[in-house]
Amino acid sequence: MSETLSYQSIRSANVAREADAERTDIRKKNLLILVLSYLHEEGYVESAQSLSKETNIDLRKFEVCDNVDLETVLMEYESYYFIKFSKYPKITKKLTPAGELLSVGVANAYSRRDSRCSSTPSLPRIPPSTTTGGATNGRPRSAKKTTNGKKVRPLSPSLYTLSILFQSGANGHVTEGVDLSLHGMNPGAGPHASSAEGDQAPRRKERLLKPLGGYVGYSSEWRDLAQVISRDIYSENPDVRWDDIIGLESAKRLVKEAVVYPIRYPQLFTGILSPWKGLLLFGPPGTGKTLLAKAVATECGTTFFNISASSIVSKWRGDSEKLVRVLFEMARFHAPSTIFLDELESLMSQRGSGGGGGGEHEGSRRMKTELLVQMDGLSKSDELVFLLAASNLPWELDHAMLRRLEKRILVGLPTPPARAAMLQHHLPPRVCTKDNGLELTADLDYDYIAEKTEGYSGSDIRLLCKEAAMGPVRKIFTALETHAEGTDLHVKLDTITTMDVESALKHTKPSARNLVVKYEAWQKEYESV
């Protein structure tokens, strides 16, 4: 009898183990099919094909059941987590030292997989949620519980609705049988909802780009050209804020009117108040035109295309105008978006102005014509696509392009208060180098130096400050080079004084002082602010 019981227990354990392994395989396969289906539905065609090839799963043989998809599963988990802990779960987190966390993340992933697949988890009993249940000292309890000495995972929620008991209000009133539908759930409900969402909100909202496979006119040729343009989409945050730009208030106001406010207050920008579609920033080099574009990429939350001549000029016949067309199609596809054309005079100089006596090249004329046609299309549509251009030589631009750039604003040399603010920014009273470096201090008369730097651009002032800061550093080079090993060397940098800056002024000249009159004359003739 004991042998029979022993045999039956062994056989039962073996059957249970096989069933557990089969359920694990089915769960993994279902997860892959859910991911594949989601990739296809969202237009990530190439990613879906790569995953299908790697996993050897053909979606033509399987399909996801009705009322089930990856987004629904995630929403159900979020609602379950919110019901239990009164806050939404954090699904992802950013990694900081990449190399260190990568190995840890891979190891944790394998350990989580092994722990999930090691045994068949028993379903724990979930008690009714209360204001105190599910949290200890203001923090949620662990999602894993222990039953019969084994770690188990919490009960998965239903794929339809959750019928729950919960306690709300200070009087402890209990409401029974409340059905929370997935699509009817209020994301702002609950006492901790706003704080939980706020903790997850990044400093700058990073937009998730749409997959190219979702474009209506998708083809192999369009894909190749789109991949060329996609390399110029800003994927990293330049981290330049509006407050980081000293002065240029008029330019910042116009850029906000064209890009920020139409997205924030769309009901105000209709009819005659439709937003500007093109803005030209012109002025001497080094005055902050490109810095304004970086602030747009940081602050505005739009898809930012950083385009230069190398992006849309091709040696192959017909490719340049195709690239221009694809650029604007992608901008509409990823709207709201901003196209930044730096050094515009290299792309849109006056037609027929080619040198060498041979006139302008045919390919260049076709590209300019296509760019003008696409700009016309922007002005006649309500799509949130904005073109921001910068030029150091506005008098060389084609007049048809100037007409399409509705706002033309001079980004001039900084005023005396702006120069004083720049000097104080670059050379504050306490300048600290790296943590293991030497401390550098400054004792300057900022207003006096600002008067002496008339005609200097922002870049010129930064170069001046760098040259002045090198003065005290140069004094210790000899001591460092002649220092004998084994002896202590105590080095201290001298304070940067106004005399050091005046000495640097003798060797650092402004780069565009002589062009100021020409810019102001062009502004009087073509200004549009």
Average pLDDT (348-356) is: 66
Lowest mean pLDDT segment, chosen from 11-20, 40-49, 94-103 = 94-103
Q: How many CB atoms lie within 10 A of CB 431?
A: 16
Q: Is 347 exposed, middle or buried (0-12, 13-18, 19+ CB in 10 A)?
A: buried
Residue in the block written with tokens 């073996």 = 14
- Report the C-alpha gap between 213 and 208 in whole angstroms: 14
Looking at per-residue confidence, does 157 or 430 come out higher?
Answer: 430
CA distances from 117 to 11, 57, 154, 203, 252 (A): 20, 21, 15, 38, 57
Interval 296-343: pLDDT, tens = 888 887 888 988 887 888 778 878 888 898 899 888 888 888 899 988
Three-class DSSP category at 317: coil
Q: Is the pTM of this model over 0.95?
A: no
Residue 352 shares a structural domain with residue 266: yes
Residues 438 and 363 in one domain: no
DSSP 353-421: --TTTT---HHHHHHHHHHHHHHHHHHTS-S-EEEEEEES-GGGB-HHHHHH--EEEE--PPPHHHHHH
On whether both 122 and 258 belong to a single domain, the answer is no
Question: Which of 413, 440, 471 is the last residue before a domain boundary?
Answer: 413
| pLDDT (tens digit per residue) in 166-215 | 344 444 444 444 343 333 334 344 434 444 344 333 444 555 666 666 66
Same domain assignment for residues 351 and 498: no
Residue 435 is assigned to a structural domain of this protein: yes
- How many domains are contained in the chain? 3
Residue-level pLDDT at 215: 67
Task: Indicate if 221 and 185 belong to the same structural domain.
Answer: no
Structural domain contains residue 13: no
- The domain that holds 432 is classified in CATH as 1.10.8.60
Q: How is residue 206 written in tokens?
A: 């990073």
- Mean pLDDT confidence for 508-524: 87
Domain boundary among 356, 391, 413: 413
Bridge partners of residue 338, in order along the sequence:
304, 386
Let me know if residue 17 belongs to a domain: no
Rg (CA), the chain: 32
42 lies in some domain: no
Residue-level pLDDT at 94: 80
Please indicate, yes or no, whether residues 289 and 385 belong to a single structural domain of this protein: yes
pLDDT value, residue 459 = 92
| 383 and 442 belong to one structural domain | no
Residues 81 and 182 in one domain: yes
Residue 278 clears pLDDT 50, i.e. is over it: yes
pLDDT of residue 157: 39
Q: What is the pLDDT of residue 422?
A: 92
Strand-pair partners of 385 = 337
Please report the sign of the dihedral spanned by the C-alpha atoms of residue 11, residue 12, residue 17, residue 21.
Answer: positive
For position 338, which CATH number holds?
A: 3.40.50.300
pLDDT at 420: 92
Residue 283 marked in a binding site: yes
Compute the distance between CA of residue 135 and CA of residue 125 in angstroms, rounded to an integer: 16
If one compares 404 and 356, the residue with the highest pLDDT of the two is: 404
For 333, the 3-state DSSP assignment is: helix
Model pLDDT for residues 221-250, shown as the tens digit of each residue = 777 888 888 888 886 778 889 988 998 888
From 328, 252, 248, 265, select the one nearest 296 (Cα to Cα): 252
Q: What is the 3 state secondary structure string of 399-416?
A: HHHHHHCCEEEECCCCCH
The per-residue pLDDT for 451 is 92
pLDDT of 27 higher than 80: yes
Examine the domain organization and report whether 89 and 162 are in the same domain: yes
The residue segments making up the domain with residue 135 are: 65-200
Looking at residue 31, its pLDDT comes to 86
Q: Are both 325 and 426 inside the same structural domain?
A: no
Burial state string for 404-430 with b = 16 or more CB within 10 A and e = fewer than 16: bbbbbbbbbbbeeebbbbbbbebbeee
Asked if residue 22 belongs to a domain, the reply is no
Contact assessment for residue 404 and residue 375, using Cβ atoms and an 8 Å cutoff? yes
Residue 285 among known ligand-binding residues: yes
Strands 430-432 and 407-410 come out as: unpaired
Q: Which of 147, 173, 200 is the last residue of a domain?
A: 200
Which tokens go with 435? 């943590």
Encoding tokens for residue 8? 């039956």
The single residue listed with the structure tokens 């019901």 is 83
Distance CA 52, CA 30 (A): 13
Range in 152-161, 394-403, 468-477, 498-507 with the lowest mean pLDDT: 152-161
pLDDT at 174: 42
Exposure b/e, 435-447, CB count within 10 A at least 16 = b: eeeeebebebebe
Q: Is 471 annotated as a binding residue?
A: no
Question: What is residue 275's predicted lDDT score, i.e. its pLDDT?
Answer: 85
Query: Which residues sit opposite 178 in a β-bridge?
Result: 164
Task: Express each pLDDT in 50-68 by its tens digit.
Answer: 887 777 677 677 888 888 8
Q: Both 298 and 394 in a single domain?
A: yes
Pairing status of strand 407-410 against strand 278-282: parallel
What is the average pLDDT score of the chain? 75
**2 lies in a domain?**
no
Residue 284 marked as a ligand binder: yes
Asked whether residue 406 falls in the same domain as residue 422, the answer is: no
- pLDDT tier at 2, thresholds 50, 70, 90: low
Q: What's at 112, amino acid-wise?
A: R
Q: Is 49 within the bounds of a domain?
A: no
SS (H, E, C) 201-268: CCCCCCCCCCCHHHCCCCCHHHHHHHHHHHCCECCCCCCCCHHHCCCCHHHHHHHHHHHHHHHHCHHH
Considering Cα of 107, then 108, then 113, then 116, what sign does the dihedral take? positive
Contacts of 124 (CB under 8 A, 6+ apart): 145, 147, 152, 154, 155
Which residues are bridge partners to 135 per DSSP? 140
Give pLDDT tens digits for 412-449.
889 999 999 999 999 998 877 656 567 888 888 999 99
Among 121-125, 248-252, 356-360, 427-431, the least confident range = 121-125
Is 350 within a domain? Answer: yes
